[in-house]
């Protein structure tokens, strides 16, 4: 499953938001990636998410594979979109 999401936080994908995203994604037994420009990181990696330095208003792609992929994407989308 995949979904494109626009980062709504005025501070972009900052440390606090990244930690919430990691916690939400870690509840699921899925392989989830976030793609921004030419970079792809594991959504369960706070350092990976922060390394992208995604600013507010940017479009990212979430890709999840696993039993609860749709639920995992919905939870992450609620936080960033």
User: Where does 1-44 have alpha helices with state H?
Assistant: 15-26
How far is residue 29 CA from its own chain's centroid? Answer: 15
Residue in this structure with the two tokens 């609620």, named with its chain if needed: 78
Residue in this structure with the two tokens 């976030």, named with its chain if needed: 34
Residue tagged active-site, from 9, 12, 14, 31:
14
Q: Does the annotation mark 39 as catalytic?
A: no
- Mind telling me the catalytic residues? 14
């Amino acid at each position: 499953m995949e979904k494109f999401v626009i980062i709504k936080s005025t501070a972009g994908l900052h440390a606090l938001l990244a930690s919430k995203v990691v916690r939400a994604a870690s509840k699921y037994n899925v392989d989830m990636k976030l793609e921004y420009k030419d970079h792809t990181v594991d959504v369960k990696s706070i350092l990976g998410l922060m390394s992208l330095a995604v600013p507010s208003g940017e479009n990212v792609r979430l890709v999840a594979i696993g039993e609860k992929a749709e639920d995992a994407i919905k939870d992450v989308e609620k936080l960033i979109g």
